[in-house]
Structure 1
Amino acid sequence: KSPLQSNPDGFYGHAIVDLMKRGSKLIVIDPRLTWLASRAEFHLQLRPGTDAAIGLAMLNVIIGEDLYDHDFCDNWVFGLDELADRVQGTTPEWAENITWVPADVIRGAARAFATNAPSSIMWGLAIDTQQNGAQAGQALLAIGAICGYMDVPGGITLALPSSFLGRWTYETMQFVGKDVEKKRIDAKDDHPAYATGPYAHPDSVLTTLETGEPYAFHMFYFYASNPIAPTCYAEPERWYNGIMKMDFNAAQDCFMTPTIMGLCDLVLPVSFFPEHDGFVLPHFGRNTHFLGAMNAAVDPGEAKSDLEIDLLVGKRLNPEAWPWESVEEFFDAQIHTQYDWGFKELREYGAFQQPFEYRKYEKGLLRPDGEPGFNTPTGLIEVSSSIYDDFGEDALPYFMEPAMSPYSTPDLYEEYPLVLTTGGRSFVSFHSEHRQIPSLRSLHPDPLVTINPKTAAAHGIKAGDYVCIENPLGKCVERARVSNEVPERVVHAEHGWWYPEDDPEYPELYGVWKSNINKLVPMYKVGATGYGAPYKNVLAKIYKVDGYDAAKGAPESYVPRESRGPESMTGGAPQPLSYETIHQG
């Protein structure tokens, strides 16, 4: 995580700086020497994708040196003995060979965390977007649990089950119907743990797109998403070709994007935050700690908010699921589930800080039956899962070498001798957003690949040079940023880049394929539970080129949307649709 740049989901990075001013000390686990890492007591500069090994080694130290909270573990933790057996051999020396972090640094960080109560653990997409992410998260939470840092001031806070976020996320699933829900592409054969949720598994969706099995898709709807730009889809060329087969694609967005220009027949214009009433729900750690109002300040004209569009379309498709006549009625209904005031009052408040209680597990506030404990089958925090066995998964955390790495694919490593990691944030953009805003773009005009000075010199690369990053899956060109921020064996490439100044029409699509780092990230390399992905850990080589066009080129078998034939409902570029047309059918 790099919270100063990302400010994820309501956790604002400046709070870390405020805490540092009050004496808080940091342990930073990051392949990059970030601003926070440079000021940390311990910086564990690990090989990307090996966080689970760090977690297991820290558990080895904390349990082996008897630094854990015996009272909390005796009363509230399930599976400590099994966990102790698991980590008996995962010493810091064992982890050093895997992670490239010196054993004494791992040992020092573990001792510091366990002996400075209370401490907290925070992670972001750096854990979620690695292949071993589920096990890394399990290990890190086990560290917090056995140290007794759960739901205490200064520790790891837990949300009430009545969190707004939990209700809103699944509000409309009740209208789908069990027969239809059973037909979703859920990857239950490969990833049964993922199949317990309400969503289709991305890997299986791509397989279905390419094969038409078990049934064909006919439409995609892009909602605040720009997937063929290097944001959320690995191997974006495959996704492009699969989605191109659809009869009709639509999107709602504030700007024309490469995805819209390349794939969509229709686009619904979305208003900006000053143009509509809205609701802000931060949810870092699933804690909706405050409710905020966005009050419309200017007339949006033709554009509408996402929720206004949802209401218009929802009432046409399934009126039962959309009984509200306005966004204010919708907000009122959600607020009234917990409070006796509504959106009008929230507008006056500006923001409402929700009440918070600590040690909810002692008071029966975390379980639907009102009993003390945690909302798990055992009623305890499970450092050894009581349900993973149902999915054929190991109950305890473990380290799994990434599918593409110096050790799992040594022959490939000879040709592609650098570990490539991606996903670092910038102060002026959010994934692929804001590239089209001149004032922000002027502050960060080019995509940057960060290379250690020794590595750059060995490849004849200087700061500002155009660098091609390549592996067996594809190529991407970014400009060199030469810095000791990364170790010699690692390069970090920025994601989310496209060029609004380039031709938006086929075949350029705003130059989306030139600096598309996701072309080097494989699909299907997820963890056994179905969660995680290898965005943080693949192999690559680098070499100097003359410009961005060295990686230019549309996907193989690329077909412009206007050439699809008579089945296209509009043909050519996507057409904005008036909201009067929606009303009139």
Structure 2
Amino acid sequence: MAVRIKVNGVEHEVDGNLSLLEALRRLGYYVPSLCYDDRLGPQGSCRLCVVEVNGRLVTSCTTKVQDGMEVRTDSEQVNQVRREVLRLLARSYPRDAYARYPFKEFHVAMSKYGVEPQGTERQDLVDLSHPYIVVDMNRCIKCFRCVKACDEVQGYHVWRAWGRGGRIMIRPDGPDFAHSSCVSCGLCVDVCPTGALEDRSVLIYGWPDSWVKTTCPYCGVGCELDVGVKDGRIVDVRPSRTSVVNRGNLCVKGRYAWDYIYSQDRVLRPLIKVNGEWREVSWDEAIGFVASRLKEILAKYGPGSVGVLVGARVTNEEEYLAGRFARVVLGTNNVDSCARVCHEPSAQGLEDMLGTGGATNTFEDIDLARTIMVVGSNTTENHPVIGNRIKLLAEQGKVKLIVVDPRRTEIAEYADYHLALRPGTDVVLFNAMANVIISEGLIDREFVAERVDGLEEFEDVVRNYTPEFAERITGVKANLIREAARLYATNRPSMIFWGLGATEHIQGTEIIYQLIDLALLTGNVGRPGSGLMPLRGKNNVQGTAIMGDHPKKLPGSVPLAQNLERFEKLWGVRLNPNPGLDGIEMVDAAMRGDLKALIVFGEDVVMSHPYREMTERALSKLELLVLVDMFHNETSRYAHVFLPAASSFEKEGTFTNAERRIQRVRKVIEPLGESLPDWQIIIRLAKAMGYGDYFRYSSPEDVWNEIRSAWPAVYGITYERLEREGGLPYPTPGLDAPPVKVLHVNQFTVGRRARLRPVAYIPSPEQPTEEYPFTLITGRTLYHFNMGSMTRRTGDQVIEPEDFIEISEDDARALGIGDGDMVRVTSRWGSAVVRARISRRVSRGTAFATVHHPEASINYVVSPAVDRISHIPEYKVTAVRIERVS
């Protein structure tokens, strides 16, 4: 609803839903404020934003616009109030800070109204304990923005007001900032108007002289970043205030863990291993060597002897080119990615049942949901921006929350129901929930009648999975199963989020079938605020999964067999019709001696694959192992060539986040040293192999335009449109068409009707025994990312310096283990030594270990068992014993 107001004698039409401050700022009028930030609720406490409305002074941040208002923003009465407020605040404010940082909000206001500070600095008010943030309370004006930001947006309540009246002080909840409950998101720094809280990097390198918007290189949320550059160097990162994904928020990794690009051990020149030692060479020599060896191996053993593995940290364009290189140049379908190795059950399950291997809805639907079920996801640590959004909605009573997880993770603390099942018993639990929904008549009968098949067959399977039976297997009380099932089915719309805790099982794909079954039974598909959302682990897992880096699928995630002719025409070559080997099978083939050469883009196979001892033996047998990466890793020990890759801050392209949103990656700085973007490395390799004419691309945009021609769902997404409109979810089939945000509204991609898929429980082979009495779960922490190759080279390493294993208090007592002791974890497959944490998060008989540091390398222990359908490792269930070591 638009209203008309008059400002300083000029009439304007504005949105009637805005506050007066928002309206005035959108119209371009300067109205200072200190306690207001558009990410926070209005306070009206500083009174700096006062304006005259019809002759009366009001705080504009707490006043809604109304039709007919006559506003003065700079009358003498208004200016007098603002000067007085600023004088009071400036009495003890340090003069030096005002002179050094004139661009700060408070300093700009003082300058405009002719107010100068009179104070000096006290060293006892400066806290340098934190690796990223400097606290200087000499500059605190008690605007309470940091307190409100931490309370209202992050929900951590770190900053608190101590004392009363004129003696009030803002302090963290610990002895110093580094030892507080802070999670280092940096939001308090963003909202601080004075620099009392400031990024250490800015104090070291200076304030940026330019900003570039790009997309975060970490998890699959896809937060947008504003990256600050000074003298050609990145000096700061801030959250994009215009992003619909992160809404002005970031986590510690996106906000601060970017300094790995300047790490002293980054590889910046090509390397060839000679007699066990790395030797620097030119790009021509390195590329020539790789091409020569590949030609020899192909001539001797054939295309089945070579393979390509691609990490999900590279762009969509580079993912596409890697798969194209494997098929066009090497003639093999032995191409796979980490996206398939961790989240293939998500893509396969959604594709099998609904027809599209991606999230059914977008993150915008979180605000519309009435119930959210989080399955196998430590969301506030692994996907913090989304996790905090869900957590705060639950804390405020705006959404009901069900958490299914063996651990009592942070988000479980906010759940209405925490179903703490025994690891590996998910199938029984979800069958029992379906049993309740059917037996109590809670299905959406109209939706099922119109759009769902297979109900009778499904009922026959779940009939025997009563909540009482499930309680015996899962350990979850029958009454909790009933109540959670009723809540999900009746308090609609309901959304399901899941992570690797749902997929990394021998029945991972079938668990996803079950989650889809629950959504179909209750009509929670194809509607706003409902649906199914796999929380992707890496920044471009969703893109990787659909760009063709798959042994049985081509770009667009289309089956190899049915689409061979179309891609032969597009690429101009005959393609190998035989399905290739996936990543697990390639390692097995190398062990047998059948795979002779492997090119790895941005992955640490040795650190990430299960049963590390066997993986090491397999890779040591390869005749050629080529790494394309930024850093040496555990796989480097077995590599013959290292090609230095540019970081995402040093190249152009796109990423696709967990909600199917394609977003621009923009070059912020020039590549360091002689590093090159992966797409240029692939083109050089293709040319050296004699296929230069098939890889004539001058830019990532050229590659993207070919992807648009190969995959109709993204035809309407051009670089120009992404610049104009921001990130767009696919499908966006037309140049002028809006993106499809909610899938399966009137029909599924597979057709009008979807079929329920009943699943029978098959216990994991990794059951506890007398020799191995504990069940080990592996996962990530807030401060590190996957194998840690990036985060271990940042200040996050200071905050979380090593891997750990969580053990319950009861188990620790029985084993004689104290908090911080080193313990040996042993399975039938290997052992690792790691530091113990005594924790209430895990139940008796269960342990949880992190996976980021090569010193511990917990994957020595992990079972080689794989999913029955998608063939991904069962990282979440391994039988182990735990012993204290001196």
Q: TM-score, normalization: structure 1?
A: 0.75
Provide, for residues 443-465 of structure 1, a one-character-per-residue CA deviation record: whole Å limited to 9, x for no partner: 10111100101111111111111
- Deviation of the 1:156 alpha carbon: 0.8
Q: In structure 1, what is the Cα distance between the partners aligned to 2:863 and 2:839?
A: 27
Matches within 5 A, 1:201-240: 201-212=582-593, 216-229=594-607, 231=608, 233-240=609-616
353-362 or 462-471, which deviates more: 353-362
Aligned residues of 1:449 and 1:494 also touching (Cα < 8 A): yes
- Deviation of the 1:78 alpha carbon: 1.1
The 1:257/1:529 distance shift into structure 2, 3 A limit, reads: same
2:763 aligned with 1:382, yes or no?
Answer: no
2:776 aligned with 1:423, yes or no?
Answer: no
Out of 609, 614, 618, the residue aligned to residue 242 of structure 1 is 618
- Deviation of the 1:130 alpha carbon: 0.8
Out of 242, 256, 274, the residue aligned to residue 632 of structure 2 is 256
Provide, for residues 58-82 of structure 1, a one-character-per-residue CA deviation record: whole Å limited to 9, x for no partner: 0000001000100000010010111
Structure 1 unmatched runs, 5+: 185-199, 364-372, 385-395, 407-412, 499-510, 547-585
The 1:359/1:482 distance shift into structure 2, 3 A limit, reads: closer
- Deviation of the 1:537 alpha carbon: 0.9
Amino acid at match of 2:861: L
Aligned residues of 2:382 and 2:781 also touching (Cα < 8 A): yes
2:880 alignment partner in structure 1: 540
Q: TM-score, normalization: structure 2?
A: 0.50
Matched residue of 1:480: which SS? Answer: strand
Q: In structure 1, what is the Cα distance between the partners aligned to 2:706 and 2:671?
A: 25
Matches within 5 A, 1:479-490: 479-490=835-846
Amino acid at match of 1:517: I
The 1:335/1:171 distance shift into structure 2, 3 A limit, reads: closer
Q: In structure 1, what is the Cα distance between the partners aligned to 2:477 and 2:717?
A: 55
The 1:309/1:447 distance shift into structure 2, 3 A limit, reads: same
Out of 5, 9, 14, the residue aligned to residue 388 of structure 2 is 14
Amino acid at match of 2:625: N
The 1:438/1:120 distance shift into structure 2, 3 A limit, reads: closer
Matched residue of 1:112: which SS? Answer: helix
The 1:361/1:36 distance shift into structure 2, 3 A limit, reads: closer
Structure 2 unmatched runs, 5+: 1-376, 535-541, 549-553, 561-566, 731-737
- Deviation of the 1:359 alpha carbon: 6.6
Matches within 5 A, 1:557-576: none
2:874 aligned with 1:491, yes or no?
Answer: no
- Deviation of the 1:116 alpha carbon: 0.5
The 1:348/1:356 distance shift into structure 2, 3 A limit, reads: closer
Q: In structure 1, what is the Cα distance between the partners aligned to 2:488 and 2:800?
A: 36
- Deviation of the 1:480 alpha carbon: 0.8
Q: In structure 2, what is the Cα distance between the partners aligned to 1:487 and 1:34?
A: 12
2:861 aligned with 1:520, yes or no?
Answer: yes
Q: In structure 2, what is the Cα distance between the partners aligned to 1:353 and 1:84?
A: 36
The 1:529/1:356 distance shift into structure 2, 3 A limit, reads: same
Provide, for residues 88-112 of structure 1, a one-character-per-residue CA deviation record: whole Å limited to 9, x for no partner: 1101111111111111111111111
1:295 alignment partner in structure 2: 667
1:401 alignment partner in structure 2: 763
- Deviation of the 1:292 alpha carbon: 2.7
- Deviation of the 1:18 alpha carbon: 4.9
Number of paired residues?
Answer: 474
Provide, for residues 283-330 of structure 1, a one-character-per-residue CA deviation record: whole Å limited to 9, x for no partner: x2xx42342332333453411122222232234443454332222322
Q: In structure 1, what is the Cα distance between the partners aligned to 2:840 and 2:434?
A: 30
The 1:308/1:350 distance shift into structure 2, 3 A limit, reads: farther
2:811 alignment partner in structure 1: 455
Amino acid at match of 1:168: M
The 1:335/1:359 distance shift into structure 2, 3 A limit, reads: closer
The 1:235/1:91 distance shift into structure 2, 3 A limit, reads: same
2:385 aligned with 1:23, yes or no?
Answer: no
- Deviation of the 1:26 alpha carbon: 1.0
2:425 alignment partner in structure 1: 50
2:701 aligned with 1:328, yes or no?
Answer: yes
Provide, for residues 133-182 of structure 1, a one-character-per-residue CA deviation record: whole Å limited to 9, x for no partner: 122111111001110010211011699xxx97776333397459777342
Q: In structure 1, what is the Cα distance between the partners aligned to 2:761 and 2:673?
A: 54
2:702 aligned with 1:306, yes or no?
Answer: no
Matched residue of 2:515: which SS? Answer: helix
Matched residue of 2:834: which SS? Answer: strand
Aligned residues of 2:400 and 2:415 also touching (Cα < 8 A): yes
Amino acid at match of 1:237: E
Q: In structure 2, what is the Cα distance between the partners aligned to 1:519 and 1:341?
A: 43
Q: In structure 1, what is the Cα distance between the partners aligned to 2:814 and 2:647?
A: 47
The 1:220/1:341 distance shift into structure 2, 3 A limit, reads: closer
The 1:443/1:59 distance shift into structure 2, 3 A limit, reads: same
- Deviation of the 1:122 alpha carbon: 1.2
Provide, for residues 553-574 of structure 1, a one-character-per-residue CA deviation record: whole Å limited to 9, x for no partner: xxxxxxxxxxxxxxxxxxxxxx
Aligned residues of 1:152 and 1:358 also touching (Cα < 8 A): no
Matched residue of 2:436: which SS? Answer: helix
Provide, for residues 23-81 of structure 1, a one-character-per-residue CA deviation record: whole Å limited to 9, x for no partner: 11210001111110011000011111111111101000000100010000001001011
Out of 576, 580, 585, the residue aligned to residue 180 of structure 1 is 576
The 1:477/1:362 distance shift into structure 2, 3 A limit, reads: closer
- Deviation of the 1:427 alpha carbon: 2.9
Aligned residues of 1:466 and 1:479 also touching (Cα < 8 A): yes
Over aligned residues, Cα RMSD in angstroms? 2.7
Aligned residues of 1:293 and 1:346 also touching (Cα < 8 A): no
The 1:22/1:324 distance shift into structure 2, 3 A limit, reads: farther
The 1:361/1:228 distance shift into structure 2, 3 A limit, reads: closer
Higher relative contact order (CA 8 A, sep 6+): 1
- Deviation of the 1:237 alpha carbon: 1.5
Q: In structure 2, what is the Cα distance between the partners aligned to 1:178 and 1:334?
A: 19
Out of 815, 819, 822, the residue aligned to residue 466 of structure 1 is 822
Aligned residues of 2:379 and 2:386 also touching (Cα < 8 A): yes
- Deviation of the 1:520 alpha carbon: 1.7
Aligned residues of 2:729 and 2:740 also touching (Cα < 8 A): no
2:530 aligned with 1:168, yes or no?
Answer: no
The 1:333/1:203 distance shift into structure 2, 3 A limit, reads: closer
Amino acid at match of 1:536: K
Q: In structure 1, what is the Cα distance between the partners aligned to 2:743 and 2:762?
A: 34
The 1:350/1:374 distance shift into structure 2, 3 A limit, reads: closer
The 1:516/1:362 distance shift into structure 2, 3 A limit, reads: closer
The 1:100/1:19 distance shift into structure 2, 3 A limit, reads: same
Out of 142, 145, 149, the residue aligned to residue 520 of structure 2 is 145
The 1:178/1:128 distance shift into structure 2, 3 A limit, reads: farther
Matched residue of 2:826: which SS? Answer: strand
- Deviation of the 1:348 alpha carbon: 5.9
Q: In structure 1, what is the Cα distance between the partners aligned to 2:687 and 2:380?
A: 41
- Deviation of the 1:4 alpha carbon: 1.9
The 1:342/1:543 distance shift into structure 2, 3 A limit, reads: same
Provide, for residues 182-219 of structure 1, a one-character-per-residue CA deviation record: whole Å limited to 9, x for no partner: 263xxxxxxxxxxxxxxx2344333322223xxx2221
11-20 or 302-311, which deviates more: 11-20
- Deviation of the 1:22 alpha carbon: 6.6
Aligned residues of 1:335 and 1:343 also touching (Cα < 8 A): no
467-476 or 346-355, which deviates more: 346-355
